[in-house]
Chains A and B, each alone.
Chain A
């Protein structure tokens, strides 16, 4: 027997204290008086629990049991186990980044919430402001059609297998190795491409979906450098654009700021803007003088201008003013042209040279590096592919199977290339034809650098963990080149020695030590460009929302109406009313108001597109057609597939103007999704406008005081008002000023609002039913030949007058007017809501309490501005609306600060109350007043021209306060006495009387 170990509980036990022995037998040290309590029947009957006590106990225990039974709702959110240092739930983080997709370039700030990018705004340090597409790019990040990993012939494979295979085959390949990319502006990518080229003797071909070959080559011939110049529109007092839609998509170089900088009527001076163009473009609609011409006539006019300036020929009547004004503004003028023909661009260069604009309004020493594509190299590549000379082709950032006019030849050639690799983010048209798809990362998941000009570098930094098993193109290049380090380290090492890394990354961009290009003086043969075209002429253009079509699968962009036609979810042939009549083509409204139109078979040379809808467009030059590129995608994804027709197939040899075009009416009709069905102001005073000369003479020109006749004489609206005024003297009084002179109608605000406020996308059919949900819209009005004066002159009756007023002029004046909730201080909506779901704030806003709303729609009916939007269906959580809100991935873009509205409630602009609240809270926390610059709304942030100015009019130093007392200020529909918190500034055109 082993000796039992003896354990003792304390020294007292070891010492055998009898007290311990006692305790061992006695569990309770003190006797519990059970017997005293229960044993004595008499005591027991004497103690009493009163009925009251009983009920108390009963009540307490029932309540306790009930409470215990109630399960707290389970919210499936996982808290951070270790909170990342920089993330505080509920507080946004902002990162500076850069967008460049070969088409658009912008320096941006990215708002992230709990690690998700949700909003993109301009980086104020830069002039490259994001347009609608760049602002929308945050949604493209959450595109559910993105690839989740590497694909080989449509099958999923692992990165390591793919890399091994690719590397093996690259090193033993027969024929050329070619890397086909968009214009590369990233210095590190360039050096990685060099390394790759060195290793595999690869060729690098740059390809721009929208070619700028003509201009690049013209500059090469004229000045010895194959670059695009940068422009200074702000220094140009006379601006003549031959078709270049610089406010739209021409060069995508953020010209809006420059343009508006020289068009401030307050300064007493505005640039004179002439636009000679075929399609009604955004620039044309802002021009002081717009001359619609056929593309062929445009060339003749350019030549005529050249000759007239030289003194060789008299100026054509159409451009007489242009010639004289240009001659008077040498060195302070600018002539630009959208032609992709070298000869034309050389002539334009010659004109600018004659006018002495180089070095003044045009800068070649600091060129724009955004386009460097070489169409000849691409054509050669297609040829080589078909000849079997190419062994491996790596495609990045471009989608040639879609954007090439000779896409069939390219696709045929692809079959003859033994190794084809695409780095597209999704299975696009090109990816479906290649062997390997090695998905690149979205720019919001990527590192990168961008040198849009020589003297500045901008950085892209990731704002979210990569969503899928993707890899940056640069890193793929490194891997395939045999470099196993990562791109981030490479990038950092590359720039560390040149710039201050942390601060550059923080700012998003940094100036480089002045580096400039040396150019020779103008020396090129100016050849005649005059042309004679037959038949109808077609001008291809990029639409404002879809651009080159790379973001076709973005529902925000598809639903973003074109600023001119106001149609979305489509492309169509724009045609003038006269030409339409000649060809027997019409547009009409069906019983619910939706716009329908005829369809045609479009024939250009040997290319035929069937069933192209025709949209009658005021301002379209007679005898011409317009058609937007970027549509007709077949492999964009669930949103973009099958929207419109592909016009790239017509752009043979990258010619975007085509003659001898035939249209033939075909059976059937097409339904347009147009958000504005009526195009004129019907003689109403909605957009007040005047000319610069009149404005200088009288700042109140075009904006006379509105007075009401009363028995006391003429009185202002507020003097005859029946309303009991709110007190808007104390506290904040938020107002928004909208300058119609600087608003160019670019749509950036519309998309920013969409993004910030979780506005649902409703799809084409619902838009056709006039149920678009945009909280902010930009009304576009065309002028009509019929005015009150004309009617009086012709002695027309009211009926025929109004009928004629509905018809826009053939070459109308265009005016844009952003309209959102006007936040009336005498709000018609507030008085009629039976449940007070919409009510007024002490700070001048009109609130909407969604959870109180029962959806009578009375407020929307009684809104004179028709800005209220009703949730006809459940737009979120509804398979019938298969857009971002009904997609686990797409939902990540939702702004957690803004409610996603349920069906059956009314919604509308809140003046970004969530942003105001944040601003106020920040100020309160810091113990200071709200700063004027901090008070912003999504639209005012996004506006590249500062047309939208938001602020507190009770703040003496605020900009909006000054604007409110400006002579140009007016309220929309002032006669109804709604006293809005939103006001407009009259539109001023620099037009000769």
Chain B
């Protein structure tokens, strides 16, 4: 039992007892889905089908069905990849870093944030695969002992580092998430009436790994969580640093920038929190979790968004300064071209969404307003997508030799794969929200007696 200052605002509203929490969390899983869920799921499914068709068409016909060309070899594919990886940063940050920092407010949101991470990384991981000219040979990127002679992967290549970074991050995040889920699965297992739902009972029994709630179970649970948090924390920083190396280690003006690793990590946390906001603001309404995901939670996340948004803004300005200060004409032109060239609209969309709009969060009134927060979160999502687009496309489309300068325009397949990946993501997330305990209720119960409204009175 821990003590908390009474002046801190409560993290659980209403007079929630342990039982109430159990019932609230188990409800979406045990009750029937409402109409809203079906509508959103239906739309997501349609988009997912579009994704399947677009990916199938790409693999069947060739990357030529995208809008890429001899000068711009990556565009929406890698933009989407980095965007999704970035989104996938919030979950682990919330559950691991905030765990280490003993931030109790994480408990209401960490489960869904982690789920979002897993699903976002799934989306992200698709892109490096499907963007390959020959995805059926994708296994070449793994250092598998082979009989092709002395062939081995190229450990100098940041793309190879990506392979390791993403797969490690995915594995650790997944295990961390799953470990946290065990006591909650056990709760659902115990709530399911075997008479009516024998299969469910069985599935949740298997999923909960025979959790019995013994003190020893809890002790091991706590220890594993802590160890995994320790493992996951560096990964939060390493993954996006490594993703940024894809660009930073190259020679292309606009890519070749030493500030990329911290800049990308800040951007990732920024976009990740925005996505968490986007999802949770809807979910708390739909699933009725207002008591657990309070305005205070929203405000905390908004503060993180504002902070990381400003970090990103400083990075943008630093880039501009360094381009000027370097005295290298290619660098100078690359950044000038971003802001004033044919893709100026992308650059200024990015600037508006990522740097200017988060400044509104300085106002307490705004950062505690749900509707405003939701709109701003969408802005940040859009802005961060544009950030990656700006970095990738505007740097490539006009690099060293003007003779090769050209432009990029997406095809319906590019759009299909991007929008479809959002559909795919929501399909996974919506299925999750109906089958998984969306709040880490077992852990949340640990703060009922310190941080809930009823005990703070």
* Cα-based distance from A803 to B340 in the complex (angstroms): 9
* Cα-based distance from A803 to B342 in the complex (angstroms): 11
A204 surroundings in chain B (CB, below 8 A): none
Q: Pick the residue among A684, A860, A865, A871 that contacts B73 (CB under 8 A).
A: A860
B70 touches A772 (CB 8 A): yes
B333 touches A682 (CB 8 A): yes
* Cα-based distance from A798 to B403 in the complex (angstroms): 21
* Cα-based distance from A903 to B58 in the complex (angstroms): 12
A593 touches B408 (CB 8 A): yes
Closest to A684 in B: B329
* Cα-based distance from A793 to B405 in the complex (angstroms): 28
Q: Pick the residue among A777, A802, A835, A871 that contacts B154 (CB under 8 A).
A: A835
B159 surroundings in chain A (CB, below 8 A): 832-834, 856, 858
* Contacts known (A834-B154, A855-B133); A770 close to B400, Cβ less than 8 A: no
Kindly state whether residue B279 has any CB partner on chain A within 8 Å: no
B128 surroundings in chain A (CB, below 8 A): 856
B133 touches A905 (CB 8 A): yes
**B162 → chain A closest CB, angstroms:** 8
B347-405 interface with A by 8 A CB criterion: 396-405
B29-54 interface with A by 8 A CB criterion: none
A861 touches B61 (CB 8 A): no
Q: Pick the residue among B61, B69, B398 that contacts A769 (CB under 8 A).
A: B69
* Contacts known (A819-B403, A834-B163); A592 close to B157, Cβ less than 8 A: no
Kindly state whether residue A224 has any CB partner on chain B within 8 Å: no
A866 touches B399 (CB 8 A): yes
Q: Pick the residue among B68, B157, B336, B401 that contacts A819 (CB under 8 A).
A: B401
* Cα-based distance from A874 to B128 in the complex (angstroms): 21
Q: How many contacts A-B (CB < 8 Å)? A: 191
A853 surroundings in chain B (CB, below 8 A): 133-134
B133 surroundings in chain A (CB, below 8 A): 853-857, 870-871, 903-906
B397 surroundings in chain A (CB, below 8 A): 593
A736-790 interface with B by 8 A CB criterion: 766, 769-772, 777, 779-781
Q: Pick the residue among B140, B251, B333, B409 that contacts A592 (CB under 8 A).
A: B409
Closest to B246 in A: A858
Instruction: Classify the secondary structure of B's interface with A.
Output: loop
Interface centre among A590, A780, A861, A871 (most CB of B within 10 A): A861
* Cα-based distance from A904 to B252 in the complex (angstroms): 23
Instruction: Pick out which of these stretches binds chain B: A89-97, A328-336, A673-681, A924-932.
Output: A673-681
A861 touches B252 (CB 8 A): yes
A798 surroundings in chain B (CB, below 8 A): 332, 336
B140 surroundings in chain A (CB, below 8 A): 834-835, 852, 854
Kindly state whether residue B158 has any CB partner on chain A within 8 Å: yes
B409 surroundings in chain A (CB, below 8 A): 590-593
A836 surroundings in chain B (CB, below 8 A): 151-154, 157
* Cα-based distance from A870 to B132 in the complex (angstroms): 11
Kindly state whether residue B71 has any CB partner on chain A within 8 Å: yes
Interface size class of B (residues with CB under 8 A): 35 or more
* Contacts known (A854-B132, A855-B133, A861-B252); A771 close to B163, Cβ less than 8 A: no
- Interface code A585-597, partner B: CB below 8 Å = 1, 0 otherwise? 0000111110000
A686 surroundings in chain B (CB, below 8 A): 401-402
B403 touches A591 (CB 8 A): no
B153 surroundings in chain A (CB, below 8 A): 834-836
B158 touches A904 (CB 8 A): no
Kindly state whether residue B278 has any CB partner on chain A within 8 Å: no
* Cα-based distance from A780 to B401 in the complex (angstroms): 11
**A434 → chain B closest CB, angstroms:** 42
**A882 → chain B closest CB, angstroms:** 16
B160 surroundings in chain A (CB, below 8 A): 834
**B133 → chain A closest CB, angstroms:** 2
* Contacts known (A591-B407, A905-B133, A973-B400); A828 close to B251, Cβ less than 8 A: yes
* Cα-based distance from A819 to B401 in the complex (angstroms): 10
A555-599 interface with B by 8 A CB criterion: 589-593
* Cα-based distance from A873 to B151 in the complex (angstroms): 26
- Interface code B57-92, partner A: CB below 8 Å = 1, 0 otherwise? 000011110011111011000000000000000000
* Contacts known (A678-B402, A771-B64); A858 close to B69, Cβ less than 8 A: no
Q: Pick the residue among A680, A771, A780 that contacts B69 (CB under 8 A).
A: A771
B407 touches A589 (CB 8 A): yes
Kindly state whether residue B238 has any CB partner on chain A within 8 Å: no
* Cα-based distance from A906 to B74 in the complex (angstroms): 14
Kindly state whether residue A976 has any CB partner on chain B within 8 Å: yes
Closest to B337 in A: A802
- Interface code A827-839, partner B: CB below 8 Å = 1, 0 otherwise? 0100111111000
A771 touches B62 (CB 8 A): no
**B397 → chain A closest CB, angstroms:** 8
B340 touches A799 (CB 8 A): yes
- Interface code A469-495, partner B: CB below 8 Å = 1, 0 otherwise? 000000000000000000000000000
- Interface code A229-247, partner B: CB below 8 Å = 1, 0 otherwise? 0000000000000000000
Kindly state whether residue B131 has any CB partner on chain A within 8 Å: yes
Closest to A866 in B: B404
A855 touches B68 (CB 8 A): no
* Cα-based distance from A854 to B154 in the complex (angstroms): 13
B399 surroundings in chain A (CB, below 8 A): 864, 866
**B148 → chain A closest CB, angstroms:** 8
> Closest 4 A-B residue pairs measured CB to CB?
A855-B133, A904-B133, A872-B64, A593-B407
23 A–B contact pairs at CB < 8 A? A593-B406, A683-B329, A684-B330, A769-B69, A770-B69, A770-B406, A777-B403, A781-B402, A802-B336, A828-B251, A832-B156, A833-B157, A852-B151, A854-B138, A854-B140, A855-B132, A855-B133, A855-B134, A860-B70, A862-B252, A864-B252, A904-B62, A905-B133
